[in-house]
Amino acid sequence: MRLGRNTWLGLLAALLVAAAAAVWLLVSGFPLMDRFQFDCNNTLKPMAEGHELVQTFVAPEDGLSRVDLRFYENDTVGEQDLVFELWDVLGSNPDGTPVLGEKIRESRVSSRDVALFWMHRFEFEPVADSQGKTYAMRITSSAPDGAALRLRASNKDVYDGGAVFQDGKVEDADLSFVLFHEAGVWQALDRISPFRPFPLNSAGLFVAVFLLAAAAFGWLLWYIAGGFSADTATSSDSRSHDSSRSCGDEPPPGGPEGGIGG
Amino acid sequence: MSDERAADYREVKERDGNFLRRWLFKNRVLVVLMVLAACVSQLWVAATPPWRAPDEPAHFGYLQYLDREQAIPLATRAYYYPDLFESKNRTNFMGVFGYPSTSMDLQTIEQNSAAGHPPLYYSLMYPAYELTGGNAVESRLYFMRIVGIAFFVALIGVAYRFAVLLFPKAPYFQAGIPLLMILHPQLAFVGSGVMNDTLLTLFFTLFLYQLAVFVIKDTSLRRALFIGIIMGLGTLTKISFVLAFPVGIVVFAALLAIRRDQRIMLMKAAGVTIGVSLAICGWYFVRNFAELGFLNPPGKVVLYNVDNWWDLWFATRFRAVMLGSFLGDFSWLTIPLYDNVLLWFRRLTELSAIGLLAALLLGLWRRRLEAIAPWIVTLFAGIFIAFFMAASQFELNTGGAQGRYLFPAVFPFWTLVLVGLTGWMPPSWRGRATAVVVSAAAVLSVWALMVEYLPRVS
């Protein structure tokens, strides 16, 4: 059986998209969630200029790359900078406050861009050897008094890996935060192994289905972008010796281009 | 004939002897769309942890009730079984909220909130449920999810046929609309769960398709009978299908006004449709009312503290919640799409509304440039608005409305959006423009699944 040029073009498009999807899977880093401190039934004092808020935590995995925080509401007028800093923690002072070492990452955001409805993401270059180390996230702002954002937190100390400090004073609370680390696709696919029966729990099957989907999409993309014109010509030829047409191959009625007349 | 065309001709001729091959060749767009739908749905099935599709424990509990009581449950009189709580503990149901473990008392007496749903979806799933007897409850759940993929695939098949009917000369719309549905993150997510929403969407889309066939080319009693059967089955799937009745009445009324010579025939058709549909689904509601004294169980979840549509729409976050949970917030995993994505989605839909108007004006100016008939725009926009208003009313009466309540109108929605984004262009551009739109949708879909969703599940 010989295949026509149009068939080959469609297959080529399918293969190209599947190949692109495979490359993307292999080279991409996926932000895997490690820890979710969900409790958020409390709000801390507004973060105005001259004040600081510090939450210490232990990174569960290498490649710490993102921290999400939950803000209460944006009742500010005008724009202000919000600064997120990630610090090494060297130890703790006698009063329990952390001894900060080196600032290793920083992320700035304008208050106008802070996600208030959901959690706001602070993304940064992955910290390679973060597993098991204690860090501090330090949040400061340029907001004037009375016009500052507030962070949501628990109403008691629920997180066992650290504590929250406002202006150097420990609070009986923990920020509502999520920690992420960057990982490759196979690590990400480890997440589908629990409780799924075989072969649903197989990362190999997941990737195979993903690539098959990419190939199918590639063919459809080719078809939509113009492959249908050659396709229609082929179908017209086929009709000449077969009357069992499908709906999609029916000749157009006398209506307008593309649509049905009123 | 060019060499290329001759090769294609030979290719078809060689296949003539094999019916299946010939059918596949002729329906290759449909087949590829359905394969893609099955693949996407399977990915969501595998990615979603146990019980994390919306209300999945309740829907699975309905199947357990059918199995153990051998009866259709009544709202407020069906309860969860202890093995479901056991599974929630085992799979750490509360892990999504950051808890290291889940501890539910197995003796908890809790009403099954899905018990008020009509039985068709569960009856269709029941044989598959029985087949998996003896397996762990989680394995049965995943098997049910796999079986449910059939509804999503069928929905895409119907959407393609419908698009072919509406746009016989625009293959890019024929493939583009079902493709946008496949790539719609929340639709695929919901389609992967054990729940009746996808079957509802399938029946409603099939209803609209058959209604369009009735209007366009087959005003027969047989077609009316078929529509009646679909309406009956749809209402037996989920009560929100009843919106099909006013839609059907409006369409029949419009036909009565326009086609005066067919009035008697149309009246008969309307009678057949309503009679058949009520005969199929009426018994369920009569039974419920006789047993319970009400159709909907009382009770309300107050989220917004408002009592009218206007305040709900403009003084609360209701619209934002609906928008987010329509596109993809995967609320049962507390995984919302990023604000900026929702913002861009809103901008695109607003832009498409302007484009749709431009496309309509273009069609009025030059008939050959028309992308979509005005009556289709009117009908589809009306249906989407009707579902939005129904969801609003649900929020005021009961509370907890979500964007997925708009899914029965998902075919009209993506039709209007796609035509709005590309239909105002010259016809020769529309194919490539549609390719750009579906490419953007594919990026969103892959990003939502692989970057936003999968890395957060556990």
- For B201-249, the pLDDT digits (tens) are 999 999 999 999 999 999 999 999 999 999 999 999 999 999 999 999 9
Distance CA B271, CA B299 (A): 36
Q: Cα separations (Å) of A140 from A83, A107, A157, B88, B325? A: 5, 11, 22, 40, 33
Q: Mark which residues 8-27 of A lie under 8 Å from B by CB.
A: 21, 25
Count of alpha carbons within 13 Å of A147, Cβ hemisphere only? 11
Distance CA A29, CA A95 (A): 40
A7 vs B: CB within 8 A: yes
Could you report the per-residue pLDDT of B365-391, keeping only the tens digit for each?
A: 988 888 899 999 999 999 999 999 999
Do residues A189 and B137 make contact, with C-beta atoms less than 8 angstroms apart? Answer: no
Identity of residue B437: V
pLDDT given for residue B337 in this prediction: 78
Whether residue B119 is preceded by a cis peptide bond, meaning omega within 30 degrees of 0, is: no
pLDDT given for residue A243 in this prediction: 33
- Contact across the interface for A195 and B138, Cβ inside 8 Å: yes
pLDDT given for residue B15 in this prediction: 56
Distance CA B396, CA B384 (A): 19
Task: Determine phi and psi for A243, rounding to 5 degrees.
Answer: -95, -5
Candidate from B93-97, B117-121, B388-392, B424-428 with smallest mean pLDDT: B93-97
Do residues B194 and B128 make contact, with C-beta atoms less than 8 angstroms apart? Answer: no
The closest of B346, B43, B201 to B337, measured between CA atoms, is: B346
Please, what is the average pLDDT of chain B? Answer: 91
Do residues B179 and B441 make contact, with C-beta atoms less than 8 angstroms apart? Answer: yes
Q: How many CB pairs under 8 A join A and B?
A: 244
Q: How many CB atoms lie under 10 A from the CB of residue A180?
A: 24
Identity of residue A44: L
Two structure tokens written together for A31: 């932000």
Q: Which residues of chain A have pLDDT under 70?
A: 1-3, 73-78, 115-117, 230-262
Do residues B422 and B430 make contact, with C-beta atoms less than 8 angstroms apart? Answer: yes
Q: Cα separations (Å) of B37 from A37, A144, B179, B328? A: 36, 53, 8, 17
Of A1, A36, A219, the CB nearest to B14: A1
Within 8 A of A7 by CB-CB distance, chain B residues are 8, 11
The closest of B341, B364, B349 to B421, measured between CA atoms, is: B349
pLDDT given for residue A134 in this prediction: 95
Map tokens 């001259």 to a residue: A50
The helix or strand, by DSSP H or E, that contains position A83, with its residue range, turns out to be: strand A81-92
Do residues B59 and B196 make contact, with C-beta atoms less than 8 angstroms apart? Answer: yes
Distance CA B113, CA B390 (A): 20
A250 vs B: CB within 8 A: yes
- Contact across the interface for A234 and B32, Cβ inside 8 Å: no
Specify the 3-state DSSP secondary structure of B109.
coil
Could you report the per-residue pLDDT of B128-137, keeping only the tens digit for each?
A: 999 998 889 9
Alpha helices, DSSP H only, in B132-243?
137-166, 171-182, 185-191, 197-216, 221-235
Of B179, B442, B451, the CB nearest to A30: B451
Task: Determine phi and psi for A179, rounding to 5 degrees.
Answer: -105, 140
Interface test with B, best of A121, A224, A236 (most B CBs within 10 A): A224
Sheet holding A98-110, edge to edge: A98-110, A81-92, A134-141, A52-58, A164-166, A169-171
